Amino acid sequence: MIEALEHRVGKVDDDLSASDVLASIRSERATENAAAARQLVLAARWADLHPPESIHHAATFTVPGCEHEEPIAGEGAPLVAEFCIAELGAVLGMSTTSAKKLIGHALELRHRLPRLWAQVQSGAVPAWKARSVAETTIHTVPTLTVEAAAHVDAQVAAVAGRIGPAQLDRLVAETIKRFELAAPDPPEDPEDGHLHVDPRHATLNDEDVDFGGTMHFDAVLGIADALDLGHAIAQDAAVQKALGSTESLDVRRSKALGNLARAQTALDLAGAGAEPTKQPPAREVVVHTHFDATAVGETTVFGPTGRMENLQRLVLLEQLQGWCADTRRR
């Protein structure tokens, strides 16, 4: 048997010449491309037969695992019923993810890249090349609008799909810029960034609740507000201890914040119309400053500055004016 096989090596049973073989391969490739193009048509037709309106629920409640509409292509392409994707994948012997890509590419080409779709159906562009373009336009970040996708379609169709991945990426980037789809870049902090970027915030993370009944609260305050808050918390914690609290200082300080939240110290809204009563000052500001005669009209990056004696920190004259201008200051 081995000798028989050795005699058959290099021998063929047909009379095809080299040119005939090339012609046959070219014909088979054309047939393969036509079949792939036809498969895209059928995949799009399958999606047409399963729009979201085809989903019927037996009850009005939403039950986990029920079928829903599935966006599988870009903006402007129709949605499809979710379970039809897995059904097509089972028939073709492919995964649900692969079937989703097949239907998504077909819808993307037909609805958002119509020029490229027409070239695929005419045989000018292989289906696999068109699908690679569709894959890019579907998953581009930020999302391409219908107009932006049409621009990509026109540029790719102009070269009959002969575009590489790097060229396609550059085209998409240029399209995003042309149609102003990208989010504006955050402004760079100038040298006097404190005047443009305000870092102050008070954030309560109410989605992260500890089993002990606590939440995380984070804040960035202005210098004066932070000092006042620190003083008020320390005073309240001391009062709690004087009243017999045996809890730790940290616990008493945290409870002091809650006490502040339940107390009205800024505005007496409840007492509107009542006899005005003199309230004690909420803040006592003692300022020792020395100014040059030219400092008032000085226009520098930060403006006139001074130094806080107790914290050894620089402070703006504008900040000092704001601290002293509020009500209930002494």
What are the tens digits of pLDDT across the range 3-37? 665 555 556 667 888 998 999 999 999 999 999 99
Q: Which residues pair with 204 in a beta bridge?
A: 217
Q: What is the pLDDT of residue 251?
A: 92
Whether the link from the prior residue into 186 is cis, omega within 30° of 0, is no
CA-CA distance, 296 to 282, in Å (whole number)? Answer: 29
pLDDT score recorded for residue 105: 97
Query: Are the C-beta atoms of 41 and 121 separated by less than 8 Å?
Result: yes
- pLDDT on residue 154: 95
Question: Can you tell me whether residue 225 is helix, strand or coil?
Answer: helix
pLDDT score, position 212: 66
Look at residue 6 and give its three-state secondary structure: helix
Cβ contact 116:151 at 8 Å: no
pLDDT attached to residue 53: 80
Q: What is the pLDDT of residue 259?
A: 87
The residues of the chain scoring below 70 in pLDDT are: 1-13, 55-70, 184-197, 209, 211-213, 264-316, 319-320, 322-330
* SS3 sequence of 67-115: CCEECCCCCCCCCEECHHHHHHHHHHCCCHHHHHHHHHHHHHHHHHCHH
Q: What is the pLDDT of residue 120?
A: 97
Are the C-beta atoms of 143 and 74 separated by less than 8 Å?
A: yes
Q: Which residue has the tokens 């949605």?
A: 79
